[in-house]
Amino acid sequence: MSSQKKRDQLILHTALTAGRIMIENGSEIERVEDTMTRIAHNAGAQTSQLFVMITGILMAINGEVGAQIEPVKRRTFDLEKIAVVNDLSRQYADHKINLRQFADRLDHLDSVSRYFPFWLQLVAAALVSGPLEVVFRHNLPDF
């Protein structure tokens, strides 16, 4: 495989992974499209076509490699992961990291789950919802 095709594959992998992470974690479609287009442009792709839906992403660059599909299977709400993808995209645009480092960091981000333990989630939910019960319903016993 030629070095240009390998680079195009890396561009596709990086852009599709970034887009999937963003959609899975609650980003809006317009932001995903903009980020993926910028990644392809900053990586030197002459052309890029993409179609983003909430259930999957279809992207092609330079008309040589062929389109690739990235399914979106999970749904959660983690704004921190969206912020990390945006930060990595900006670092790449500013030439602080190269495309391989960008792809590797996205793969690592995708594999890491930063959830709090279930018991801590329960305590936090009680601390948030309890006072609201008192304030809005004036119901101290349910607190």
* Structural domain spans, the chain: 3-111, 115-143
pLDDT digits (tens, 9 = 90+) for 17-47: 999 999 999 999 999 999 999 999 999 998 9
pLDDT digits (tens, 9 = 90+) for 69-120: 999 998 988 899 999 999 999 999 999 999 999 999 999 999 987 777 889 8
Extract the tokens encoding 68: 């690739």
State the DSSP string of 83-137: HHHHHHHHHHHTTSS-HHHHHHHHHHHHH---PPPHHHHHHHHHHHHHHHHHHHH
